[in-house]
Amino acid sequence: MPSGQPDYSRVVSCRCVKTEHDSERLSRLKKYSNLGSLSRFIFDNLLPESRSSSPQSQERFSQAYQAAMSFAANPQGWLVFSGPSGSGKTHLAAAIVNDRIEKGQPALYITTPDLLDRLRSSFGADSETPYDEFFEQVKNAPLLALDDLGVQSGTPWAKEKLDQLLTFRFNNGLPTIIVTAVPLDSLDDRLRTRLTDARLCRVFVLEEESPTSIYAWSPEFELQKNMTFINYKRRTDLSMEQQDNMDAAYRLAFDFAKNPEGWLVFMGETGCGKTHLASAIVNYRYEMGKPALFVVVPDFLDHLRSAFNPESKISYDQLFESVKTAPLLVLDDFGEQSTNPWVKEKLYQLINYRYNSRLPTVITTRLSLDEIMGEVDSSISSRLVDRKVSVT
């Protein structure tokens, strides 16, 4: 007071008490959030453009990152993060929850399987939180982050509980974050309708799930990963004519890598370097951040057959479409496959599509030109040797 006398008209907490109260509140908020070990996932340790080498994925993640930052500052509507494992979607969701907690605001994180397990266990007499109380707590959370949607069991009871939860939050416009590794097209119709309603939801597909990688080598191609134009070695045991042919093939491959147009067909005996040149093209494209896909024809056909299995993680259509439409495709060991009608049909569909679409394609084979014309189905071989498209 001006006179210097103490003011007894109001209660003023001392700084130490205020700090203690803030600390207690933060502790309660962290416990309520259910983040556990995910409390380390914050915006500060999240790369705004992700760790992906794909420019497209980097751009997608950057947009999702900005949306997450805005949502954390002012949670409104729903955010849906979709993408394969490792794409950063859980980190984004956890970062939002952590940011809200640091601002002194409540937010709840829970995985879908854990939610359903806790709901089931809450029916028990010894449950700490009765079923109704726990379900109401989740339904009415000021901000809810629901992770791993789509990996839960598909029992009628589980579907009913999820529908009740999401319908309640949808109808009331409660801020919600949905994280899923399942393509939205694969979700239940009613659920998909909720998640794709543009009036309330913003959907970010961080990275397209693909059965094949077009920006990096798959693990089974460790040898090809190291085959570049720089370490390509000329064979000294070849005749002058053969060496000239290999030099010409090298130049063609290098030019093709810089500007893929049309088709390249490398023919030659085992060990002559055709796979090295094809791999070097792929490595060159990867270094430029451009897409390319390398497949060994017999292995690809085996994978295609196995995709018919109901337990296969990749559908037949997904696998075939990803190879058929690859921006640049290398078909290694063409001609080593079996020649039954099914194989001929699949190869024809693949090659005919790429031929008509003028998609850049590299083919390696130990068959000669005459053998290609004689042993391979004419509808396929005619496309391989078409001078308007192929350089053989």
Most confident of 179-183, 197-201, 205-209, 384-388: 197-201
Whether 108 and 252 map to the same domain: the answer is no
Environment class of 139 (CB within 10 Å of its CB; exposed 0-12, middle 13-18, buried 19+)? middle
Q: Is residue 357 one of the residues assigned to a domain?
A: yes
Clarify whether residues 282 and 305 are in a common domain.
yes
What six digits make up the tokens of 232? 């390509």
Question: Can you say how many angstroms the Cα of residue 102 is from the centroid of all Cα atoms in its chain?
Answer: 30
- As for how many domains the chain has, the answer is 2
Q: Name residue 134's amino acid.
A: F
Tell me the CA distances in angstroms from 127 to 6, 36, 89, 131, 333, one per residue in order: 52, 20, 32, 8, 62
**Which of the four pLDDT bands, split at 50, 70 and 90, describes residue 202?**
very high
Structure confidence at residue 190 (pLDDT): 87
Reported as a single tens digit per residue, the pLDDT across 173-201 is 999 999 997 778 767 888 889 999 999 99
The reported pLDDT for the residue numbered 361 is: 94
Q: Do 291 and 389 contact (CB within 8 A), yes or no?
A: no
Task: Kindly state whether residues 181 and 288 are assigned to the same domain.
Answer: no
pLDDT at 270: 82
User: What local confidence, expressed as pLDDT, does residue 20 receive?
Assistant: 45
Has this prediction a pTM greater than 0.75? no
Instruction: For residue 3, tell me if it sits in a domain.
Output: no
Question: Is residue 1 situated within a structural domain?
Answer: no
| Chain mean pLDDT for the chain | 83
For the domain that residue 85 is a member of, what is the CATH number? 3.40.50.300
Angle at Cα 90 formed by Cα 33 and Cα 311, nearest 5°?
A: 120
Q: What is the mean pLDDT of residues 249-259?
A: 94
Q: What is the pLDDT of residue 76?
A: 96
Q: Which domain holds residue 368?
A: 219-391
What is residue 289's predicted lDDT score, i.e. its pLDDT?
82
Residue 107 clears pLDDT 90, i.e. is over it = yes
Alpha carbon distance 335, 298 (integer Å): 9
**Residue the block writes with tokens 């992906």:** 52
What is the phi/psi pair of residue 363, to 5°? -125, 135
Across 383-388, average pLDDT: 57
